[in-house]
Structure 1
Amino acid sequence: MLKKFVDPLPIMESIRPTDHIHNVPFYEVRMRETFQKLHRDLPPTKVWGYNGQYPGPTFHVWRHLPVHVLWKNELPERHFLPIDTTVHGAEKDKPEVRTVVHLHGGVTPDTSDGYPEAWFTRDFQKVGHHFTNRLYTYPNHQPATNLWYHDHAMGITRLNIYAGLAGMYIIHDREEIRLNLPCGRFDIPLIIQDRSFYKDGRLFYPQEPDKPATVPHPSVAPEFFGDTILVNGKVWPYVHVEPRRYRFRILNGSNTRFYRFSLSNGASFIQIGTDQGLLETPILVPSLVLAPAERADVIVDFSTCYGESIVLRNDYETQGKKPDPETTGSVIQFRVIDSLASQDESSIPVRLAHVPKLNHYREFRTLRLNMREDSFGRNIHLLDDRLWSDPISETPKLGQTEIWNLINETQATHPIHLHLVRFQIFDRQPFDRDVFEKEGRIVPTGPRVPPALNERGWKDTVRARPGEITRIIIPFSPYPGLFVWHCHILEHEDYEMMRPYIVIR
């Protein structure tokens, strides 16, 4: 077992524009294969990274100031992780290595959204979809928030992100700066992921699920849980902190794993933001649940902890079991041993941002989260019982607001993500699954429950729990066009739990 807390936490470097086009900053990002030390006792690991870094460099941009990004694929022609060619979009006639970048949570036109079929190969030799353009423009017309960018190629997203293609994208604005939150080196992004390794340092990813020999080889796995936790690309790192307030922008970048974070000294997090920006008021939370792709903006106050070593723990049950405190139950160690370099003049305002509560809507859709078996006896997770290739069924109108009722018939919690839009959670309600499966009727078995206090902000990914109706209210703006919605468990997303939708004028 790899020893914990022997490597310092890396801080991803900030990317700088290489030029300007008509006064708009221009960035060039190259996807490259490299070898990187992920733990003191591991040989260098082969990874794929943006600009040859895993995780990729952090973008710091400003609200209403657009940027251009030229994404370049300079990866090898062969993948180093197992590809199941029976998965739609990853067939044998497709190139093994394909990439397309999605700015997760970005309010962007469809031409810059990273549509899964808009992939391109090394040196842009092949185009997968007519919307493809390596040069993407991100308008940044949204409040200060923590987004992330990652690969989204059809049928191999789980492999490309696992290989290392992910990074942070932070939007700043004047309103947030005025709040006087912890900043500079006291403001730290944390990308949390799980991985497994061979002894020689290679990444391990399963070749097939625990199924009979009738399944293809390699075969897509129904889920993936690594046995080590990485933060910013290091296995179980530590970080020296001063006895003062710190801001941590936390991203769950794992394929499948959910986390319930807590601090070993019993202190609470002060949550100030969620996926799409600041909450109205700070919320004190003793523990924090994040599904894949969810983000949380939190402040931790170390001012009374001098001399302590505090561990960020995870106790979310996976497959019915609590994580081992010696492995996946530990995340990172905070060592409060640095002296206070200067007076902590940051503050935590009582009021952070205005979050108008959405109540009015024009359309009401009921959409199932369900599953069935494929021809090999493997489970396919589906959205409204439809495959990716089925005709488009969701066509919201530009400028209108809809409520989507997500009816989860499965045994799993699905983090549902919609491209383009931000939304609010309306409520959740348990229902009788037996009646629904037999008669198609929705019979509630309990009251509607409003979202938790720290979910009452703008979201782009929502946990739809099993046996519940999860209602979200969504304004469809500001761009028309072709987008997608999907489960952000990457193994589900790659194997049919993703659907296109069109915003029509």
Structure 2
Amino acid sequence: MLEKFVDALPIPTTKQPSRTIDGVPMYEVTMKEAHVHIHRDLPPTRIWGYDGQFPGPTFHANTGEPVCVLWKNKLPPTHFLPIDFTVHGAEKSQPEVRTVVHLHGGVTEDWSDGYPEAWFTRDFKQVGSYFSQPTYMYPNIQKATNLWYHDHAMGITRLNIYAGLFGMYIIHDDEERSHLLPTGYYDIPLILCDRSFHEDGSLYYPSQSEKPVKDVNPSVIPDFFGDTIVVNGKAWPYLQVEPRRYRFRVLNGSNARFYKMSLSNGHSFIIIGTDQGLVRTPIETSSILLAPAERVDVIIDFSSYEGESIILLNDAAAPFPQGGQPDRKTTGTIMQFRVGTTPTIGYKEPLPYILTTIPMLNEQEASCRRNLTLSMRPDQYGRNIHLLDDRLWTEPISEKACLGSIEVWTLINLSKATHPIHLHLVQFQILDRQPFDREVYEKDGTITRTGPRRGPERIEQGWKDTVRANPGEVTRIIMQFGPFTGLYVWHCHILEHEDYEMMRPYVVVIQ
């Protein structure tokens, strides 16, 4: 077992533009193989990273100021993780190593969105079937928020992200700056993920599930849970902090693991933001649940804990919510904060009561209401395929939204797991959740509600791009489609589910 809290938390580098074209900053990012030290006692680990970093460099952008990014693939021609060639999009007829970049939560035109079949290979020698190009435009027409970028190649997303192809993208604006929140050294991204390692330091990813699949090897697995928690590229790191307020922008970058975070001394977090920016008013809470791809923006005030060591804990079941509890010796621990004794100058005045305004979408203005199931069925090898609306990726597009229209989607979870559902392009609001009778629904398609309707949790009352759809519940979300037309996707963000059919295309059209 690796010793905890022996490596200092690294801070991802800030990406700088290489040049400016007609006033627009131009960035160049190279995907390449590298070897990095993830723990003091591990040999260097082979990763694939943006600019060879794990995680990739952090982008800082401003609202209303567009940027261009040239994504350059310089990866080896063969993958070092096990590819299942029976997965759609990863057949032996396709190049083993393919990449395409998605800015998760970004409001972008479709040609810059990272459509899964818009992949490209090293030096752009081979391209996918949909508007493949290496240069993307990000207009940054959103309010201040914490986004992230990651690989999105059809059939191998789980492997490419696990190899290290992910990083943060932060948008700032004047409203955020006006609140005198912690900045600079006291404003820190925390990118959480779980990994497993061989003794030689190399990444371990299983080629089979616990019950091997006959006639398929390697085989896609139902979900992946590593035995080591990694933050900003270090296993169980520590952070030396001053006795003052800090701001942490937390991202769950794991394939499938949920995190229910708390502090070992019982101290509270102050939530100031969620997926798509600031919440209306600060929220005090003792625990925070994050599904894969969700983000939370929090303040932790260390001013009353001089000289103490505080551990950031995890108490989320794996799989969530029906799996076993994490072991405090391993996956139940995330990192450590070491609070110094030297007084420092920090903001002492209370946080503002109002952080932002959030206009609420009106359900009565919805022009379309869709009932969409989250379900499973066996494939030809007896493995479970996770499906959206009981449809495969290759079936005709069934979700066609008109530009500017408001829709309500009811997600009907017939499975036993919570699925973090992500929609590209749009921001949405959570209306409510309610338990229903699964047997009745499977018999005649009727939603028979069996309990009270619950509004969104306090942490979910802002704009979202990923929602936890719980088993045995209907989850309703509302969104307005735009500002762009084109071809996008929606999917589960458990990467093993996404890769094996739990993803569907949708299109936004002019009415």
Query: For the superposition of Structure 1 and Structure 2, which TM-score range results when normalised by the shorter chain?
Result: over 0.9
Correspondence for 2:369: 364
Could you tell me how far apart the structure 1 residues matched to 2:317 and 2:84 are? Answer: 28
SS in structure 2 opposite 1:454? helix
Aligned ranges 1:340-355 → 2 under 5 Å: 340-344=343-347, 347-355=350-358
One-letter code aligned to 2:470: R
Correspondence for 1:240: 240
SS in structure 2 opposite 1:299? strand
One-letter code aligned to 2:154: M
CA shift at 1:447, angstroms? 1.6
For the pair 1:406 / 2:406, whether they are aligned, the reply is no
Aligned-residue CA RMSD in angstroms?
Answer: 0.9
For the pair 1:154 / 2:159, whether they are aligned, the reply is no
Could you tell me how far apart the structure 2 residues matched to 1:412 and 1:338 are? Answer: 44
Q: Deviations over 1:142-181 (max 9, x none)?
A: 0000000000000000000000000000000001100111
Could you tell me how far apart the structure 2 residues matched to 1:449 and 1:371 are? Answer: 26
Quick check: 1:87–1:155 contact (8 Å CA) kept in 2? Answer: yes
CA shift at 1:342, angstroms? 2.7
Correspondence for 1:325: 328
One-letter code aligned to 1:161: I
Could you tell me how far apart the structure 2 residues matched to 1:150 and 1:339 are? Answer: 39
Correspondence for 1:50: 50
One-letter code aligned to 2:167: G
Aligned ranges 1:444-483 → 2 under 5 Å: 444-483=449-488
Quick check: 1:245–1:346 contact (8 Å CA) kept in 2? Answer: no
CA shift at 1:347, angstroms? 5.0
Correspondence for 1:201: 201
Quick check: 1:181–1:347 contact (8 Å CA) kept in 2? Answer: no
Aligned ranges 1:70-219 → 2 under 5 Å: 70-219=70-219
Correspondence for 1:336: 339
Q: Deviations over 1:250-299 (max 9, x none)?
A: 00000000010000010111001100000000011110000000000000
Pick the aligned partner of 1:492 from 483, 493, 497. 497
Q: Deviations over 1:475-497 (max 9, x none)?
A: 10100000000000000000000
Moved more, 125-134 or 17-26: 125-134
Quick check: 1:180–1:346 contact (8 Å CA) kept in 2? Answer: no
Quick check: 1:98–1:120 contact (8 Å CA) kept in 2? Answer: yes
Could you tell me how far apart the structure 2 residues matched to 1:385 and 1:130 are? Answer: 24
Q: Deviations over 1:335-369 (max 9, x none)?
A: 00252343435751110000111123111000000
Could you tell me how far apart the structure 2 residues matched to 1:449 and 1:342 are? Answer: 42
Could you tell me how far apart the structure 1 residues matched to 2:173 and 2:501 are? Answer: 37
If the length of structure 2 is used for normalisation, what is the TM-score? Answer: 0.98
Correspondence for 1:265: 265
Could you tell me how far apart the structure 2 residues matched to 1:225 and 1:340 are? Answer: 40
CA shift at 1:114, angstroms? 0.3
Quick check: 1:241–1:338 contact (8 Å CA) kept in 2? Answer: no
For the pair 1:425 / 2:430, whether they are aligned, the reply is yes
SS in structure 2 opposite 1:17? coil
Quick check: 1:180–1:347 contact (8 Å CA) kept in 2? Answer: no
Could you tell me how far apart the structure 1 residues matched to 2:98 and 2:57 are? Answer: 21
Correspondence for 1:293: 293
Correspondence for 2:229: 229
CA shift at 1:249, angstroms? 0.3
Could you tell me how far apart the structure 1 residues matched to 2:354 and 2:212 are? Answer: 56
SS in structure 2 opposite 1:493? helix
Quick check: 1:416–1:485 contact (8 Å CA) kept in 2? Answer: yes
SS in structure 2 opposite 1:61? strand
One-letter code aligned to 1:196: S
Q: Give the paired residue count.
A: 505
Name the % identity: 65
CA shift at 1:213, angstroms? 4.4
Quick check: 1:240–1:338 contact (8 Å CA) kept in 2? Answer: no
SS in structure 2 opposite 1:203? coil
Could you tell me how far apart the structure 2 residues matched to 1:434 and 1:353 are? Answer: 43
Could you tell me how far apart the structure 1 residues matched to 2:379 and 2:215 are? Answer: 10
For the pair 1:277 / 2:282, whether they are aligned, the reply is no
SS in structure 1 opposite 2:401? coil
Quick check: 1:179–1:347 contact (8 Å CA) kept in 2? Answer: no
SS in structure 2 opposite 1:492? helix
CA shift at 1:112, angstroms? 0.2
Q: Deviations over 1:187-237 (max 9, x none)?
A: 000000000000000000000112244140000001000000000000000
For the pair 1:440 / 2:466, whether they are aligned, the reply is no
Quick check: 1:107–1:139 contact (8 Å CA) kept in 2? Answer: yes
Unaligned runs of 5+ in 1: none
SS in structure 2 opposite 1:313? strand
SS in structure 1 opposite 2:11? coil
Quick check: 1:275–1:458 contact (8 Å CA) kept in 2? Answer: yes
Could you tell me how far apart the structure 2 residues matched to 1:236 and 1:402 are? Answer: 42
Could you tell me how far apart the structure 2 residues matched to 1:145 and 1:345 are? Answer: 24
Could you tell me how far apart the structure 1 residues matched to 2:341 and 2:124 are? Answer: 48
Change (3 A) 1:346 1:226: farther
SS in structure 2 opposite 1:111? helix
Correspondence for 1:378: 383
Quick check: 2:213–2:219 contact (8 Å CA) kept in 1? Answer: no
Quick check: 1:49–1:166 contact (8 Å CA) kept in 2? Answer: yes
One-letter code aligned to 2:289: V
Could you tell me how far apart the structure 2 residues matched to 1:183 and 1:271 are? Answer: 16
SS in structure 2 opposite 1:136? strand
One-letter code aligned to 1:29: V
SS in structure 1 opposite 2:225? coil
Could you tell me how far apart the structure 2 residues matched to 1:254 and 1:318 are? Answer: 12
Unaligned runs of 5+ in 2: none
Could you tell me how far apart the structure 2 residues matched to 1:127 and 1:438 are? Answer: 44
